[in-house]
Amino acid sequence: MGAAGGGQRLLAGDRLAGPVAQRAVPAAAPRQAPSWCYGTPGIARSLQLAALACQRPTTQRLAEDALASCSADPEQLARLHDATVCHGWAGLCLALHRAASDAGPDSVLHQHWATAQARLTALVQRSAPPPAAGFLTGADGILLALHTLTPARSVSPGWDARLLLT
């Protein structure tokens, strides 16, 4: 069945367990933050990429729906407490940005990305940067994300390949 089929089963099984597509966890488990590293955004983007590579539009839509659902869920969004790439708003924004770029022009992911980017920008403006430098959990990753998401200040394309988003 391949990676796309396995990922589709994971997300489809979760969709049947509740109204919001979640990670592959039992329905009784608490919702996780929509983190790039272990949450729906990273899993959905990986599934979207696999579906695109395998030309499976149904799986692609399932992945995009899962990402859209988690990025619109106030309960999940409330679990994002910082701006970092790994567990925060920068990672969610990067996943949304990359997924929206591969989704259709009418996809709700474009709107969700814009909303998440505004929240990331507001958080960065009102909060002190993380005390440590670092790519995943520090200020360096936040700055790279902001420069990637702001076309007027773009950075070298492909740096986020290390996050498996491209």
Report the pLDDT averaged over residues 83-111: 95
Could you tell me what percent of the chain has a pLDDT over 90?
57
Neighbours of 45 (CB within 10 A): 26
* pTM: predicted TM-score of the whole model, two decimal places: 0.79
Distance CA 93, CA 72 (A): 12
More confident residue, 119 or 28: 119
pLDDT at 133: 84
Q: Is pLDDT of 126 > 70? A: yes
